[in-house]
Structure 1
């Protein structure tokens, strides 16, 4: 085999590669431009731009290569490449074609021109159609971002306007928008923003005319993008020549274009001719920028020179948004846009425009979507609801427009109930005084005419409105500006609205209430008045003025029949009593005694609340008015008649009577009367006498049972008075079971004990009590069944399985059947009486527990106000006994709490001052306390006895140091009893506390 031949032809040999100079720094810069880190991208852009400043005098080839690389970067699919390269391109173009750069390069014949830049841009971003789908999209976006960079750089407008180049850019952008509808919005955005750039740079207005002409030539004028560009041009360049025969009077927002505008904005059909651009098949979840453009334009001042009036924002919203996006036949996607626009207007526009967006279709859609969680637009509806609440939080005056929109003609009174939200309730709670003054007339009209002829539906709507009015009151009394006159006036208006529908029937001559307010609804309104006053009194703001204002308004309206006939029938005696009470109120309002202002306010409150009770039909209120008159005359009567012992005696009698009145209020299971009695008692606590204090103590001593209730309320248990008492009890129960929402549930508002052992003990007691109750019920049922079997002559099947069958009822004669009927009547009557008696016992216990709770509240006030009074010592033994004896643990704990508060306040020198004649009585009290300590009781009882004992010791020793001898004897006798008597159950803590006190007090006693 011959050897291979060598090729000696030099032309066919491979060339050696010449070394290429690669600028690694520039490569890194381009790489960093595509970084996802903002800081890295900006540094890279800054580094690149610094190479093209006029002082660096970059070569044309260097500029051309950089532009080609930047335009190619815009076509990259990397996440942040377009952003970084776009920023760098914009700045490089601005540097290269700035005034200084252009002047320095004018001599060069082959210099890079704007036309050359456009050529590079067009060539690099051109999609041939042979690329893959992703590559084609990348080129389209590259062209889009390139156009934006060229326009933003300002090279087409400064230092001179380049008409041909500007026209070419527009044609390429609009051509892209036509061919690719999915990118049309972004193309329109670039041109839209260029109008503002031209205006800011004060460029030639002819450039805008060219843009509009190009827009129309590409059949894009009747698109959302076209509307936005046109509106921007009209607002920024009003004097230019607009293309004709596109919009009436050259304005898309002309009032005659509303129908066409609605079709264009919701993209319901191809714009213009059938050959025009098609609607994009891709739905965007973000709102089109054209809505912003239109809304902002409508918000600007209207043109005075326009041939035809422009659309108002209200007309635009109604026609384009409400009847367009929110039409019943509109798609969920368009309604989604509508909610986005709704939220945007609420968040960004001024109060006047934001108040106009609550239109019928929108509110209906909002209600429907909020009502059901699995609906398509539920989350958007929730977002819209929160947007309303957020706007009200920032601007409380917006509450008026919100409530009117959601509950007025476009909405529903039952909006919160239908949507299962508290939207309206939260809005009215945030409302300020001005907003409430606008809302209240609406609520009053809705109560009068709920929009339905059905009585049940009307009652439901009125109940909702009553609840919202109550929410307003509670929010107002807790607001920081509650003390001002405007807030008081609003609260008074709310109370007057309640009073109108609670105490008066509609008068056909003065505008009938349709349908008429039912008796149950009137009772509801009366209870809401009590609830409102409860909140007002609790906050101690306007606590005197508003109750007086509401009863005065009821009286005046009853005379004038302003709201119709008064529903309360009053005889002459009752009228005289009420008239006298108003005279006293008038005199009290005219008094100005700074030293006794609290007493005056307390009496005004008492009079007002008692009159209100008269209007509510309380039979006891009349006698209470008479007692109030007695107290008023004794306390505020002629001062001359009060001189001497007789005057003091009369004042004491008045104070005792006042305590009885407060107890009658406190006995009612209502927070309103509880708080009222507490406020009045606070003012008159220093005037309470021994007799008045005894009235309070007697309630603590009463048993928590039916017998205790009968004893306390002087009820008779004889057969003759049984029927009358039952009727009175029923009346009282009806009064106490008022539908008032502030009626207290026993123990519901009390703090639970923090002691876990006590909780376990209470659970055991409750369990034992429940077991006993179950056993009693089982015994009662067994006894009833035995009596029933005896009357029927039968037996239970499980008692005797072998018993013979009883004779058939058919074998009985008439007399025997009658005897059986009589026996059955007796059995069932006995059963009914037993159940009734059991219920009476339960109700009596609840009543007594509630009453003792209220009395303990009053005594807590008393010890806070009068702990330094010697009379307060009379409370020690009753509180200790109640702590030990009460079968209700909550009462026992509360009594001990009052005792602890009392002893806590009596620290240092703040102990009652003892008179010589009272020394023996106080020493006897100490012995009684030690006798009480020997009884077995809960742990709180033992500690309470120790605290009470030491308090009395402090009082005795503070009066006379030698009294310590007698005190030691008392403790010694107690120690003997502990050692020798089996009946003595004194707790060790009594002596421990005594020893500690002796150590601390020994130095003072010796000195």
Structure 2
């Protein structure tokens, strides 16, 4: 029994020595973390360095076998980690020091290494598909490691072993087309490495021979390898009868090169390219490295002229290569979407990586057409790639603004379309021109001028649309340039002037059909659009206060000179002798103003230059009021800049009053340009404004916001009728940003105003609604009377049993009915027209009051310490209370608040004894105004205004505070006893707070 039990025991396994550290190293080589992989490779390689004890052959063999096997693994990042380690281990094992230490008896040789590599990476055919793929990749990475390690070329070139490696790599490339690009990349990079090491030229010759014997010459990989050899080793012997002049980039090979690079041939359908190489059956979304190799080679000769420097060279220029191989190849109309995708990748690559000269050549016809088509529709296959391409263009322009010229020429020139942004529904060109620098603008502007003159179409409507697009882009240039950091320099000013001159040429002149003429002719609407764009440009220039006086003068002077010389054709503005004399006198004044020395202390020179220039421009635009404005300007100019010895204070006051009227004429126009211009000029002459001039401003604030107020302000008659003008709907600019016309809706916020203004606005709206209902009822009654009918919801009051409703009317009765109907509908049209006139008048008056308030805001900032400014208080308070437009009411209150805010301490207006009674009267009037019902801002405004006047009185004499207390006491009595007094509680709260703070100062 014991014997049986003893024999049944298992034999104990012998202990195996496992190097756990080495296992960890191999494990870490598969890590997806770069840092861990590199540390593991370093640890492994350190075991074979020369300063260590030389490893025996068995250890080296096991390590190499383990590393080669690791290359065949698809686990994590094994191929990358093992490839790095293998390259360095081979370099250490076959270094001169290591070979010397091992002696000549070592069995580890280069042929032995190749044997291990070939044996481990050989796919027998019995494996699964994935295992075979892993072995193929193992062979590929093994070849790369062997080549990079340098064991085949140092200390001497081992031609048989190199040949063996080439055969195995090219065999794999031909057998498995899906790894052919990677195989070609290994040899391509090896040639450049050999060139850097100054290796034996025989090595490269062998590589070319194996390339040809493998039927891989006419493939993208073959082209790249051949080009690399041609550039790095031009003196070697190339295989004959492959490429003309032994160069795939020879000009005579362009057709064949195009087929090879896009991987197409006559035998493509059978799966084999010309010469026997299989065409890759799997499309790769990445751009083939051969494209980069060819572009890199040709980048040094981007033009035809440069390519002829060497007489022996017959290579393609870059432009010819791009046109033939890329534009007519990848972007051909019959080309597949996949090849166009490659084309976009190459386009983006050139934009991102190559110089401006090269990048400017890639905007070719087929490419731009494909880009336009793909951008236009989001559902298209290559839409995202097209978007990436446009972003690449914009990024290059942002980085190098001078590239804007080439981009605009490419997208809008002969290869592109003027309406590129409109067709693609993007703002690509607009963004490009907005970032262009002065150098780029100087190239873009002649192109735009040429395109406006000849848009490339004979159809008038299409030409007008294209010209409108170009006008918008020119305006974008101006707006971006005036905000640029270098906008104040002379080059920038010259570019801006060039834009204005282009606008002026097509806005004011008509050229005959001759060389350099405009074809098709400009329509009236287009010329009006250009004139509007001039105003928009000047609006941006004046707003930025850069070249605000020089450019308006320059443009009107250019228009005058061109009208005389007929440089651009016939001047379209008809001017009689009187108008010509007025304009001539204005230019004389402008010339004198320009010659004035600013150091003499004369103020207002720039302001008057701007006024004269803008008024002359209004004359050229056909404004009937501009002539009288010129005469008034001459009067102001003579009084302000005339002989100082003979100039009296009264004449200066008259000039100041006339200037205010002129500025009001400009401010009344619904235009940002004239608003900004009037504000700039007014800011200069605000200290010179007299009581009469201030009264002109106040009278506008007190005018009614309706037809009556408009007639009062502009001297209009009831029987005036406007003429209808036909407008081309296609020329209406939908982009409000491109126009300097300000549109104000007086009905905005009317609902909210009703609750805060004591119900005045709501009552007015109710009255308007009742009036509308009454008009409709009257119209329906007249219509029913003419037709002899009644509304369906009304009962007949008369017995119609005796009438025959079916009886037919005779001709006389029908004619009478027609006459009655005509009168009824005419009355209805008149009523609607009158209602529209009322609405338009209200908008005009609201706009005018807003502009005047802008001027008054400037006045209180400049002249708040003047006693004259006190005259503004009551008009502003009344406007705050009476206006039915909340915007106007709030703006009036804001001006008053700004005024009272500025009048602090020593800034309080000084008061003389002769003005004392008028200030007391003003205080009482303010208190009377505070008793009226109004919005909340009106009450606060009255309180602030009252305290301001109190400060003026107390600053004059502390004893006046007794009278002030009496005034406040009377107001308090009215609050308690009168039903008509609606003073707000805050009125007295503010007074009490002021008394507390003022009492401390008065007692000191």
Give the TM bin, normalised by the shorter chain.
over 0.9
Asked if structure 1 preserves the Cα contact closer than 8 Å seen for 2:69 and 2:138, the reply is: yes
**Contact preservation (8 Å) 2:753, 2:884:** no
Spell out, residue by residue over 1:840-888, the C-alpha distance to the aligned partner (whole angstroms, 9 max, x if none).
1111111111110000000001111111111111111110111011111
Which moved further from structure 2: 978-987 or 80-89?
Answer: 978-987
Q: Separation in 2 of the partners of 1:408 and 1:329?
A: 24
1:741 aligns with 2:746: no
The answer for unaligned runs of 5 or more in structure 2 is 302-306
Matched, 1:467 2:464: no
Aligned partner of 1:681 in structure 2 is 682
The answer as to whether partners of 2:218 and 2:274 remain within 8 angstroms in 1 is no
Are the equivalent residues in 1 in contact too, given 2:746–2:885 (CA < 8 A)?
no
1:18 positional shift:
2.8
Q: Which residue of 1 aligns with 2:540?
A: 535
- Please name the residue that 1:608 is paired with: 613
In the superposition, relative to structure 1, how do residues 75 and 389 fare at CA in structure 2: closer, same or farther (>3 Å)? Answer: same
Answering whether residue 853 of structure 2 is matched by residue 856 of structure 1, we say yes
Distance 1:930-1:773 versus aligned 2 partners, 3 A rule = closer
The whole-number CA distance in structure 2 between the counterparts of 1:89 and 1:558 is 83
Q: Is the 8 A contact 1:507 1:564 kept in 2?
A: yes
| Bigger Cα displacement from structure 2, 503-512 vs 914-923 | 503-512
TM-score by length of 1: 0.94
Q: Comparing 91-100 with 337-346, which one deviates more in the overlay?
A: 91-100
Is 2:414 the partner of 1:409?
yes
SS of structure 2 residue aligned to 1:962: helix
1:571-650 map, 5 Å: 571-594=576-599, 599-642=604-647, 647-650=648-651
- Cα–Cα, structure 1 residues 464 and 62, in superposed 2: closer, same or farther, change >3 Å? same
Residue pair 1:762, 1:889 contacting (<8 A) in 2 also: no
- Kept in 2, the 8 Å contact 1:255–1:308? The answer is no
- Give the one of 773, 779, 797 matched to 2:774: 779
Structure 1 residues 15 and 972: alpha-carbon distance in aligned structure 2, compared to 1, 3 A threshold: closer
| Residue of 210, 215, 218 corresponding to 2:211 | 215
Given candidates 341, 345, 355, the residue that maps to 2:360 is 355
Corresponding position: 1:982 with 2:952: no
Residue of structure 2 aligned with 1:258, choices 239, 254, 259: 254
2:721 aligns with one of 726, 732, 735:
726
Cα deviation digits, residues 381-416 of structure 1 (max 9, x gap) = 000011101100101000000000000000000000
Secondary structure of 2:510's counterpart equals: coil
- Whole-Å Cα distance in 2 between the matches of residues 955 and 985 of structure 1? 26
Contact kept, 8 Å, 2:754 with 2:762, in 1: the verdict is: no
The whole-number CA distance in structure 2 between the counterparts of 1:241 and 1:520 is 71
Three-state SS of the structure 2 residue aligned to 1:975 is helix
Give the Cα–Cα distance (whole angstroms) in 2 for the partners of residues 937 and 248 of structure 1. Answer: 95
CA-CA distance at 1:511 after TM superposition: 2.9
Q: What is the CA–CA distance in structure 1 between the aligned matches of 2:164 and 2:931, rounded to whole Å?
A: 109
Query: SS at the partner of 1:543?
Result: coil
Is 1:74 aligned with 2:97?
A: no
Question: Hey, what does 2:499 align to over in structure 1?
Answer: 494
**Displacement after TM superposition at 1:155 (Å):** 1.1
Residue 798 of structure 2 corresponds to residue 797 of structure 1: no
State the 1:598 CA deviation: 5.2
1:450 is the counterpart of 2:432: no
Note the C-alpha offset of 1:815. 3.7
Distance 2:781 2:123 in 1: 102
Query: For residues 176 and 878 of structure 1, do their structure 2 counterparts lie closer, same or farther at Cα, with a shift above 3 Å needed?
Result: same
- The corresponding residue for 1:181 is 177
> Is the CA contact (8 Å cut-off) linking 1:392 and 1:398 kept in structure 2?
yes
Q: Which residue of 2 aligns with 1:171?
A: 167
CA distance in 2, matches of 1:99, 1:416: 66
Choose the corresponding residue for 1:364, options 369, 380, 383: 369
Which residue, 928, 933, 936 being the options, matches 2:930?
933
State the SS of the aligned residue for 1:640. coil
Closer, same or farther: CA 804–83 of 1 in aligned 2, 3 Å: farther
Q: Is residue 671 of structure 1 aligned with residue 672 of structure 2?
A: yes
Moved more, 739-748 or 579-588: 739-748
CA distance in structure 2 between the partners assigned to 1:150 and 1:765 by the alignment: 94
- Per the TM alignment, residue 115 of structure 1 is displaced from its structure 2 partner at its CA by 1.1
The aligned counterpart of 1:662 is 663
Query: Are 1:320 and 2:325 an aligned pair?
Result: yes
Residue among 28, 41, 48 paired with 2:44: 48
Of 412, 430, 437, 1:432 maps to: 437
**Does structure 2 conserve the Cα–Cα contact (< 8 Å) formed by 1:125 and 1:143?**
yes
CA–CA distance in structure 1, aligned partners of residues 382 and 802 of structure 2: 71
Which position in structure 1 is the counterpart of 2:282? 282
- Structure 2 distance, partners of 1:766, 1:92, is 92
Q: Is the 8 A contact 2:405 2:441 kept in 1?
A: yes
RMSD: 2.7
Per the alignment, in what secondary structure is the counterpart of residue 333 of structure 2? Answer: coil
8 Å Cα contact 2:860/2:899 also seen in 1: yes
Gaps of 5+ in 1: none
Name the SS of the counterpart of 1:726 in structure 2: coil
Aligned to 2:102: 105
For 1:333-356, what per-residue CA distance to the aligned partner results, in whole angstroms no more than 9, with x for missing partners?
000000000000001100000000
* Alpha carbons of structure 1 residues 838 and 172: separation in structure 2 relative to 1, 3 Å: same
CA distances 1:309-359 after superposition (whole Å, capped 9, x unpaired): 211110010000000000000000000000000000001100000000000
CA distance in 2 between partners of 1:579 and 1:374 (Å): 61
Structure 2 residue 906 is matched with structure 1 residue 909: yes
Match of residue 396, structure 2, among 391, 397, 407: 391
The equivalences for 1:753-772 within 5 A come to: none
> What's the CA shift for 1:47?
1.1
Most deviating of 982-991 and 181-190: 982-991
> Residue 646 of structure 2 aligns to a residue in which SS?
helix
Q: Deviations over 1:257-312 (max 9, x none)?
A: 11111111000126997551110000000000011101111113669556342111
Q: For structure 1, which segment, 689-698 or 295-304, has the greater mean C-alpha deviation from structure 2 after superposition?
A: 295-304
Structure 2 residue aligned with 1:32, among 28, 32, 42? 28
- Structure 1 counterpart of 2:293: 293
Q: Distance in 1 between matches of 2:523 and 2:802?
A: 57
Counterpart CA distance in 2 for 1:204 and 1:805 is 127
Answer whether contact 1:527 1:738 (CA < 8 A) is retained: no
User: Residues of 2 paired with 1:600 and 1:490: CA distance?
Assistant: 25
Residue 957 of structure 1: aligned partner: 954
Q: For the structure 1 residues 204 and 934, does the alpha-carbon distance in structure 2 shift closer, same or farther, using more than 3 Å as the test? A: same
- Work out whether residues 251 and 314 of structure 2, in 8 Å CA contact, stay in contact via their aligned partners in 1: yes
- Number of residue equivalences: 985
Aligned to 1:519: 524
Change (3 A) 1:615 1:173: same
Q: Are the counterparts in 1 of residues 28 and 36 from structure 2 also a CA contact under 8 Å? A: yes
Hey, what's the Cα distance between the residues in 1 that align with 2:472 and 2:568? 22
Q: Secondary structure at the match of 2:948?
A: helix
CA drift of 1:675 comes to 0.8
Q: Summarize the Cα distance change of 1:313–1:765 in structure 2 as closer, same or farther, 3 Å threshold.
A: farther
Query: Residues 7 and 877 of structure 1: is their aligned pair in 2 closer, same or farther, counting only changes over 3 Å?
Result: closer
For residues 795 and 206 of structure 2, the distance between their equivalents in structure 1, rounded to whole angstroms, comes to 111
CA offset digits 1:39-86 (Å, max 9, x no partner): 221111111111111222111110100000000000001120001111
Q: CA-to-partner distance for each residue in 1:346-381, whole Å, 9 max, x for gaps?
A: 011000000000000000000000000000000000
Instruction: Tell me the residue number matched to 1:238.
Output: 234
> Does the Cα contact within 8 Å between 1:747 and 1:890 map onto a contact in 2?
no
Segment drifting more, 298-307 vs 614-623: 298-307
Task: Give the aligned partner of residue 64 of structure 1.
Answer: 61
Distance 1:873 1:762 in 2: 25
Q: Determine the structure 1 residue equivalent to 2:304.
A: none
Q: Conserved in 1, the CA contact under 8 Å of 2:612 and 2:630?
A: yes
SS in 2 for 1:602: helix
Name the CA distance, whole Å, in 1 between partners of 2:848 and 2:58: 100
In 2, the alpha carbon distance for the partners of 1:362 and 1:768 equals: 66
**Cα 1:493–1:957 shift into 2, 3 Å:** same
After superposition, the C-alpha distances for 1:953-989 in whole angstroms (9 at most, x for unaligned) are 1111112222222222221221222222222111121
Pick aligned residue for 1:484 from 467, 489, 507: 489
